[in-house]
Chain A
């Protein structure tokens, strides 16, 4: 009997551990499936994204919903696994009957969402993913989040035009995130008269990067470009400084997240201080008064501070999460689908997403089309650095 009880418990844990979706209910509402990594190794990214989505949903509902119809958020944890993504997306589509899925996690998991969304004929907006798979988005998935190319340009333009650097070393994460950066790097480097004298890689879970740093230190690079999606990238900054690499270092937006800054702020501020890309919302106080985005960024920053629990300033992934939801809000306002007919609503919402035109959001201006689900994007990337425990715009 005891054995059966234990086996039953194990079975329940196994089933429960596979996927977990909250199931709120409302009579007539637009159902938004938020499939994010709430647990597991990508939970940092997923929870921040979810927080951004929640803030917008709450705000829209307080204002009376969309054309009087409230939004109903159905959060679902993909457990940072491809299996979790597949099961979660299927559950959102087939059981929860959501009108749209917002997926907030990494590239590999975003790729797992695509076939399920396609098969279920449900529009999905993906947070992550390299521009390398934009031709695989199919009919139902959208990834209007910019490309690694934009970040490569911002780094190399700054290094060459502002600092006069002509030789860099690159330390890239061994993942789709890093591959995308590496794909665009050679062409853009030559455009800015920069030679990439060394390219090293690191595992996303790496803890010792001194080996790579030894080679980089012994190269003749004048600057170091680090591109990682998690803590290993921040460790790389620390270990570069530990190893006596005193040249300028640029890193990805992930290394600018509050926990990384808290852990390694002292290393980030070492001269020359670390350069990372950020959204305008991150640093709206420093924007000039004539910046047309200042009011929008300030409004969102205030809204997020008011609604986040516990209250805290919006960071990059919060902004991206909110932005995914703002895409949906814009399309719902234009399409005004009937929420009681899910299949028709999904189709109309997809058509509306495809006709997004010059949508001015927090990190860029987006235009999508039936042929282009990645979109023509005008980025608003800012380069920031770290000083006296805070963030400042990079002096140009």
Chain B
């Protein structure tokens, strides 16, 4: 196989992997702390993209548009917790998970009313041109997606490893009762988890929009992609989600070189099934956690 083709598959694999990982990290944060699967996570991605496009079309510089969009998405994460999950905190986790579906429907409906059904796009951040490398092409937005995903991951590791709030979140994830005993407010940590997940979703939406386009209805497909990454890698560990995203992205790229292009998407599901059969808690799940 020509080297340029191999290089292109690698570039596409990394790019897809970063997108999957960026979408999956929000699930990890919320699930770790609350054991709730936030099926509205894709809506934060949609909002990140839509709001960035909206502010940008009003003349706001792209990076500032992204920042404002991400802040709003984060705040909506807080609204989801305070308005939906917290009042139902005594119900089962399955019920709380189902309530996030209702929230997702509501956000989707409101987005349809505000923005209509049309798809929108953004130019590459700061007009970054495409890079032609050894016969392969790196689309101008790809370095932004990869770079910002790496920054987010680094930031998350720092946050969880070296800050009081991060350590408190981890404590809640590891042992909620123990955390409560030593004075950590699990409810407050849950609120932070939802805000953080909303923020991550908003970032993912803003950075992938120049590559993928955005409309009010992309939330659910994004939720599925993020869930795939989280389940394959292990939803209870950030590095598991990142690994899951990368495995899926690279697998799709490899599949593209080996099987007809119409079957790329089933490859992700085959991997998911294989992982579930061999390692039901994901590739990098924490011992004893589900």
Contacts and interface: CB of A to CB of B under 8 A. Distances in A.
Nearest to B265: A203
Interface residues of B, number: 49
Q: Is the interface of B mostly helix, strand, loop or mixed?
A: helix
Contacts of A259: 118-120
Interface stretch (A23-31, A39-47, A63-71, A132-140): A39-47
A210 B249 CA distance: 13
Interface in A202-261: 202-203, 205-208, 210-212, 214-215, 218, 231, 234-235, 239, 242-244, 258-260
Most chain A beta-carbon contacts within 10 A, residue among B260, B261, B264: B261
A88 to B, nearest CB: 17
A263 B8 CA distance: 25
A210 B12 contact: yes
Given A207-B19, A214-B8, A231 B215 contact: yes
Contacts of A208: 12, 15-16, 19, 211
A240 to B, nearest CB: 11
A127 to B, nearest CB: 16
Interface in B127-170: 130, 132, 136-137, 139-140
Interface string A294-337: 00000000000000000000000000000000000000000000
A216 to B, nearest CB: 10
Interface stretch (B104-112, B227-235, B238-246): B104-112
A174 interface: yes
Interface of B: 2, 4-5, 8-9, 11-12, 15-16, 19, 87-88, 91, 95, 98-99, 102, 105, 108-109, 112, 117-121, 130, 132, 136-137, 139-140, 208, 211-213, 215, 217, 220-221, 252-253, 256-257, 260-262, 264-265
Contacts of A258: 118
A202 B16 CA distance: 15
Nearest to B253: A211
A369 interface: no
A239 B211 CA distance: 9
Contacts of B8: 210-211, 214
Contacts of B136: 214
A164 interface: no
A43 B111 CA distance: 13
A6 B91 contact: yes
A200 interface: yes
A389 interface: no
A44 B215 contact: yes
Interface in A13-37: 13, 17
A214 B9 contact: yes
Contacts of B12: 208, 210-211, 214
B256 A207 contact: no
Interface of A: 2-3, 6, 9-10, 13, 17, 39-41, 43-44, 47, 80, 174, 200-203, 205-208, 210-212, 214-215, 218, 231, 234-235, 239, 242-244, 258-260, 262-264
B139 A210 contact: yes
A39 B265 CA distance: 24
A1 B35 CA distance: 24
Contact of A44 (B119, B221, B264): B119
Contact of A260 (B2, B15, B119, B257): B119
A8 to B, nearest CB: 13
A212 B99 contact: no
B117 A243 contact: no
Nearest to B132: A244
27 contacts: A3-B91, A6-B99, A10-B99, A39-B108, A44-B117, A44-B118, A44-B119, A205-B221, A206-B264, A207-B212, A208-B16, A208-B19, A208-B211, A210-B12, A211-B8, A211-B9, A211-B12, A211-B253, A214-B12, A215-B5, A231-B119, A235-B213, A239-B139, A243-B130, A259-B118, A259-B119, A260-B119
A264 B212 contact: no
Contacts of B132: 244
Contact of A201 (B9, B87, B262): B262
Most chain A beta-carbon contacts within 10 A, residue among B19, B87, B117, B132: B117
A263 B221 contact: no
Nearest to A39: B112
